Amino acid sequence: MATKTLKTIPKISVKIWQPIIDKLDEKLKTACLRRDAYLSKVLEVELDRLDEEVSIPNSQASYDYVFTRIYQLHPKPVSLALPSELTARLNEICSRKRIVRDAFFNRVFLLLAASPKAIDTLLFGDVGSKWRTDVWSENKHDGPFFQNGFYPLEPMIDPFWAIRSGLEMYANDAGLEDYVEPTSGKSIRVTRDIITGAVLPADSLYTTIFEQKVLGNDLLGLSCYLPDWRIPGQGAKQQHDAKLDELLADLGNLP
């Protein structure tokens, strides 16, 4: 009688901030979901989004700074059983775009675990909860919830589609321009820093910087994209601050 060999899913080790992993595990337990199996389905959607949204690679200085910030949170080692093809794809994207892998996992875990009010604060600022009404009006006959209603046994796992739709709506309202990214040669849509005019990726799930503090800690270590002018001691930050001082001085000279 032949013995059936069970396929073993390889494990990787990541480091997650304790409050985030505790909250996520609690929510998944309540929903009766197996964390690693669910995460694998999420990554099948999110890795292409990560590559698309971080349309401009981080600098090495940005990578080093985010790496330092995430480890100042003293994250806890967590073992994840993920298909090797997903891990390889993620590693390739993180290497090419200079994204700290643990920053990506902490961001994804935080957004999965966060309350609706926390999502409003982290990603939509002054807009608050209004984005939900706008997304519903724009997408009430579209989106995974509509598809899942027709195919209840084949649900599409895309947990951030509504948030992403809201961010894209407001990014379009803010005005974007076409730009050829020099390292890839691809034409992308970008915005510009209002102080220096520097090119930036459009605001998105993976490029919006979390400005808030949680439990007395800033969340810059959860950044998948961070412009150099946000890094203390960098020439880009000094230039940004000088331009800002110049702008404020001009405003002070108005009659």
Sequential pLDDT tens for the chain (255 residues) = 555 555 678 999 999 999 999 999 999 999 899 999 999 999 999 999 999 999 999 999 999 999 999 999 999 999 999 999 999 999 999 999 999 999 999 999 999 999 999 999 999 988 888 888 888 887 765 666 555 544 444 455 788 988 998 898 888 767 788 999 998 899 998 988 888 888 899 989 999 999 998 889 999 999 999 999 889 876 666 566 566 556 556 555 555
Taking the C-alpha atoms of residue 220 and residue 198, their distance in angstroms, rounded to an integer, is 20
Note the pLDDT of residue 147. 57
Note the pLDDT of residue 138. 78
214 assigned to some structural domain? yes
Cβ neighbours, 10 Å, residue 70: 24
Note the pLDDT of residue 112. 95
Taking the C-alpha atoms of residue 29 and residue 107, their distance in angstroms, rounded to an integer, is 20
Altogether, the residues listed in the chain come to a count of: 255
Note the pLDDT of residue 136. 83
252 assigned to some structural domain? no
4 assigned to some structural domain? no
Note the pLDDT of residue 235. 63
User: What's the helix, strand, coil split of the chain in %, to 5?
Assistant: 55, 10, 35
255 assigned to some structural domain? no
Q: Map residue 177 onto helix, strand or coil.
A: strand
175 assigned to some structural domain? yes
Note the pLDDT of residue 153. 47
Taking the C-alpha atoms of residue 224 and residue 96, their distance in angstroms, rounded to an integer, is 12
Domain that holds residue 105: 11-151+161-247
Per the structure, how many domains does the chain have? 1
Note the pLDDT of residue 86. 96
